[in-house]
C-alpha cells in the first residue's frame, strides 16, 4: 500500500502542474478589471465601475489624455478635447477625475502605459510557456536593459509635468523636432494622441518592460515550482521506503 499524500504535498503537486494557469487567472483578473470599469459604466452599473476607478486610482495617475476610452467616438482624446467637455484646468488632480461620458465613451481605469505594461507581462508569459524550451533565461542585465527605456520615458514625463500638464518639454517635444529636422507632422511631435511620439513611447516602453519582467521571472518561478515538486516526490518515496522497512 502506498503512503497517502498529505494536503501540503497534494497542493505542491497541483501547483507544479497548474501554476501558469493559476497565475493567468489571478493576474488576468488584475489586468482585466480596468477594462471592466468602462463596460460597467456603459451598461449603467456606475457603483461597481466607480469602485474599480477608485481602487486603481491608487495605482495609476489615470490622466484622461493619456488613457484609452471605450464605447466612444475615439479611443484617445487630446488634452484640449478633455478640457472642452470637463473643466478648463491643467490641474492633474482635477483632470484625473474625468472618467468619460456617453459621447466620449468611458476611460479604462489605468493609463495607456499601465495597460501595455501589464497586458504584455501576461501575453509574454503565455508566449514563454509555448517556446520556453527554445528561450534562454534572461539575465539580470537583460532585464535592466528592457526596463531602462520605460524608466527614461517615465522620468522625463514626470519632470516635464512639473512645468504644468500640457506645458512641459515632453508636450511640445521641440528637442525632437530639431533632432529629426521636423520630418514628421505636428501631430506626431505635440501632445499625447495615439499617433504621437509620446503615445508610441509609452506603448513601446511598456511592452519592453512587460517582456523583460516575464522572460526574467517565469523561468525562476518554474524552477522554484519544479524543485518543490521534486522535493515532494522524494519525501513521498522516502516515506514509502520507511514503511516497507518497518513492515519487514
pLDDT in tens, 132-178: 888 888 999 999 999 999 999 999 999 999 888 888 999 999 999 99
Residue 136's pLDDT is 84
For residue 2, tell me if it sits in a domain: no
Q: What domain range is 26 assigned to? A: 7-247
Considering the domain boundaries, does residue 98 fall inside one?
yes
Residue 147 in domain: yes
Q: In which element (H, E) is residue 105 found?
A: strand 105-107
Which residue shows C-alpha cell 484617445?
76
Mean pLDDT of 193-221: 93
Query: Where do runs of H (alpha helix) occur along 86-196?
Result: 92-95, 112-131, 140-161, 169-172, 174-179, 186-189
The DSSP bridge partners found for residue 105 are 101
Q: Is position 1 within any domain?
A: no
For 99-140, write each residue's pLDDT tens digit. Answer: 999 999 999 999 999 999 999 999 999 999 888 888 888 999
Question: Can you tell me the mean pLDDT for 211-217?
Answer: 95
User: Which of the four pLDDT bands, split at 50, 70 and 90, describes residue 69?
Assistant: very high
**Measured between alpha carbons, how far is 140 from 14 in angstroms, rounded to an integer?**
29
Determine, yes or no, domain membership for 118: yes
Q: Based on the structure, what is the number of domains in the chain?
A: 1
Amino acid at each position: 500500500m502506498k503512503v497517502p499524500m498529505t494536503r501540503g504535498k497534494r497542493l505542491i503537486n497541483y501547483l507544479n502542474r497548474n501554476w501558469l494557469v493559476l497565475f493567468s487567472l489571478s493576474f488576468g483578473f488584475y489586468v482585466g478589471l480596468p477594462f471592466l470599469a468602462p463596460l460597467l459604466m456603459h451598461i449603467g452599473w456606475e457603483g461597481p465601475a466607480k469602485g474599480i476607478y477608485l481602487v486603481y486610482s491608487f495605482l495609476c495617475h489615470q490622466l484622461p489624455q493619456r488613457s484609452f476610452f471605450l464605447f466612444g467616438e475615439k479611443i484617445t482624446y487630446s488634452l484640449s478635447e478633455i478640457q472642452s467637455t470637463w473643466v478648463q484646468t491643467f490641474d492633474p488632480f482635477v483632470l484625473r477625475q474625468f472618467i468619460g461620458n456617453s459621447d466620449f465613451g468611458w476611460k479604462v481605469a489605468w493609463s495607456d502605459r499601465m495597460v501595455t505594461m501589464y497586458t504584455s507581462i501576461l501575453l509574454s508569459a503565455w508566449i514563454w510557456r509555448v517556446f520556453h524550451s527554445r528561450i534562454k533565461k534572461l539575465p539580470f542585465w537583460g532585464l535592466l536593459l528592457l526596463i531602462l527605456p520605460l524608466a527614461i520615458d517615465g522620468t522625463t514625463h514626470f519632470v516635464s509635468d512639473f512645468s504644468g500638464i500640457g506645458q512641459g518639454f515632453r508636450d511640445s517635444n521641440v528637442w525632437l523636432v530639431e533632432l529629426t529636422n521636423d520630418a514628421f507632422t505636428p501631430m506626431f511631435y505635440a501632445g499625447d494622441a495615439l499617433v504621437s511620439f509620446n503615445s508610441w513611447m509609452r506603448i513601446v516602453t511598456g511592452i519592453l518592460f512587460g517582456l523583460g519582467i516575464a522572460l526574467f521571472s517565469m523561468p525562476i518561478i518554474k524552477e522554484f515550482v519544479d524543485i518543490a515538486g521534486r522535493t515532494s516526490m522524494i519525501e513521498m518515496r522516502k516515506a514509502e521506503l520507511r514503511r516497507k522497512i518497518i513492515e519487514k
